[in-house]
Amino acid sequence: MELHRLTAHQLSDLIAQKKTSPKEIAQDLLKRIKKTEKKVKAFCFLDEKDVLRQCAELEKRTSHGALFGIPVVIKDNICVQGQDTTCSSRILKGFKPPYDATCVRRLKQEGAIIFAKGNMDEFAFGSSCETSCYGPTHNPWDLKRIPGGSSGGSAASVAADETILALGSDTGGSIRQPASLCGVVGFKPTYGRVSRYGLIAFASSLDQIGPLAKDVQDAAILLNVISGHDGQDSTCADVKVPDYTKALVNNVNGLRIGYPKEYFAKGLNTEVKDSVETALGLLRKLGAQVKEISLPHTGYAVADYYIIATAEASSNLARFDGVQYGHRASDFDNLLDMYAKTRGEGFGEEAKRRIILGTYALSSGYYDAYYLRALKARRLIKEDFDRAFKDCDCIVTPTSPTAAFKIGERIDNPLAMYLSDIYTISVNLAGLPAISVPCGFNEKGLPIGLQFIARAFEEEVLLRGAYTFEQNTDYHLKKPEL
Ligand code: GLN
């Protein structure tokens, strides 16, 4: 049986019926990887021996958890005790965290196999997975194209059937955009829904860990495991976690869906626009009330995000100075020189660009003009959503303005790259949950994604909308040829 083709819920059923075992699943995936990974390059670390060791441990367990025997890829910015965790950056090469991130600890408790580390844009800075110090990941649908980013390795490995599930992190779109470009499901939870303890920080007020999966049901199962209060993260909310699988109903009757007119304006590729409009038509046919809404401050979102995110990143990355973690320059004259050389050698070009931009925006002469203003604009963007949600239950938009672009196409043009997240960024600024599900293919056979956005802590509304859409379409069942 081709176990790698199946979903987590299908595999869990087979395990429960004793028709397969964690070891059989892991071995089947390792075989698959031998065939596909040299083309896709989704992983920066995979320790086969450790995977088999975990399987042997699981066989000894008396009680099974919600993810018993299910392999999960972990983005390389999420700490796994004793395993390389480098944010795909030279500066963290050799770093093995002394502890597990809370979500990894919960995965282990529930019997998941911590399978591999997913390649990513360095420190999650990017939309293409090209800024990784290990080189780019390739899109399984067209190996000459990018998989999206920054969680590109996580998304590509799910799409290529090299894993069953993956975790990504989303600061401005890094789960949803690669999910969209690789034709899988990507879920960015409400800010505070999932603990960030053990997630190496990019922009602490925006970052959130979430699932990448082959279908909406799998995303709900993984979300159940990683959600919930954690005393180790003061921004993790003490809000009751429902059983998300109960929200998987094939029914959007009466659901009020808004589509923001600003998201369908210039810059949106026509094939993407057509697919999203067809999707909205289907939702309407299935009983949803679909109407146009307005999010008037949308035009400020990208600029606003790049002030706030770079400001926070410049502060968060100050800790990488050659003293405590990873790389240290070997040849230096004094302490200052050691810092400068270590950081000069360790960070890539995009990381340096962001540290410089962020430091500038926070500097005393410019703080009021940039950072403080950006915070005010952020509030206006959030208020747009508050107003919109007065008369709709969720908002539907394209996830990305285009399908996957070619490797190298935008890497020398940061502004073009930054626009890749134009439809996902506002969600992070407002702290809301959102999901991307496959909604079509363009003429070249590249996947297109549909985004659902809901009020804070209303993940169940997203699951209901996305599940219904998925049950009435078959885009999620298509597989790339590899
Ligand atoms: N592409 C966006 C950026 O470069 C978002 C990245 C992310 O969500 N981590 O910042």
In this structure, are 200 and 70 located in the same domain?
yes
Instruction: Tell me, yes or no, if 315 is annotated catalytic.
Output: no
Query: 115 and 19 share a domain?
Result: yes
Domain encompassing residue 140 = 3-255+394-477
On whether residue 174 sits in a domain, the answer given is yes
Choose, from 12, 41, 75, 108, the residue flagged as catalytic: 75
Q: Which residues contact 348 (CB under 8 A, 6 or more apart)?
A: 89, 90, 122, 131, 133
pLDDT digits (tens, 9 = 90+) for 79-127: 999 999 999 999 999 999 999 999 999 999 999 999 999 999 999 999 9
127 lines ligand 1 (CB under 6 A): yes
* 209 vs 281: CA distance, rounded Å: 31
| Whether 324 and 224 share a structural domain | no
Rounded average pLDDT over 202-209: 98
Identify the band that residue 444 occupies on the pLDDT scale cut at 50, 70 and 90: very high
Omega within 30 of 0 (cis) for the link into 150: yes
Q: For residue 416, is it within any domain?
A: yes
Tell how far the Cα of 82 is from the centroid of ligand 1, in angstroms: 27
- Average pLDDT (130-140) is 98
Q: Determine the 3-state secondary structure of 164 from DSSP.
A: coil
Q: Are residues 412 and 366 in the same domain?
A: no
**pLDDT band at 62; cut points 50, 70, 90:** confident
- Examine residue 13 and state whether it is found in any structural domain, yes or no: yes
What would the mean pLDDT of 262-267 be, rounded to a whole number? 90
- Per-residue model confidence (pLDDT) at position 436: 98
Instruction: Locate 207 and state its tokens.
Output: 């970052």
Q: Is 246 a catalytic residue?
A: no
Whether ligand 1 lies within 6 angstroms of the CB of 125 is answered as yes
Q: Which residues of 441-451 are buried (b: 16+ CB within 10 A; e: fewer)?
A: bbeeebbbbbb
The answer to whether residue 461 scores a pLDDT higher than 90 is yes
Q: Are residues 121 and 211 part of one domain?
A: yes
Model confidence at 325: pLDDT above 90: no
With a 6 Å cutoff on the Cβ, whether 172 touches ligand 1 is: yes
3-state secondary structure 51-65: HHHHHHHHHCCCCCC
Residue 455 sits in the same domain as residue 320: no
Q: What is the pLDDT of residues 335-348, one digit of tens each?
A: 999 999 999 999 99
Give the distance (Å) from ligand 1 centre to CA of residue 438: 20
pLDDT at 267: 85
Evaluate: CB of 126 within 6 angstroms of ligand 1.
yes
Record the tokens describing residue 88, joined without a space.
């795909």
Nearest to 65 by CA among 10, 12, 5, 6: 12
Percent of the chain with pLDDT over 70: 100
Q: Is the pLDDT of residue 187 over 90?
A: yes
Interval 273-321: pLDDT, tens: 999 999 999 999 999 999 999 999 999 999 999 999 999 999 999 999 9
Whether 357 and 465 share a structural domain:
no
Residue 389 lies in a domain: no
Closest atom of ligand 1 relative to the 125 alpha carbon: 4
Cα(425)–Cα(397) distance, rounded to whole angstroms?
Answer: 12
| Catalytic (active site) residue 406 | no
How far apart (Å, rounded) are the C-alpha atoms in residues 183 and 147?
10
Please report the pLDDT score of residue 265 as a whole number: 87
pLDDT category of residue 415 using cuts at 50, 70 and 90: confident
- Counting the structural domains of the chain, the total is 2
What pTM, to 2 d.p., does this model score?
A: 0.98
> 3-class DSSP state for residue 73?
strand
Whether residues 346 and 448 share a domain: the answer is: no
Q: Same structural domain for residues 440 and 367?
A: no
Looking at the chain, the whole-number percentage of residues with pLDDT higher than 90 is 97
Domain boundary among 375, 408, 437: 375
Expressed in angstroms and rounded, the spacing between residue 205 Cα and the centre of ligand 1 is: 13
Task: Answer whether residue 382 is part of any domain.
Answer: no
| Domain limit, last residue, from 315, 343, 375 | 375
Confidence of residue 51 (pLDDT cuts 50, 70, 90): very high
Residues 16 and 62 in one domain: yes
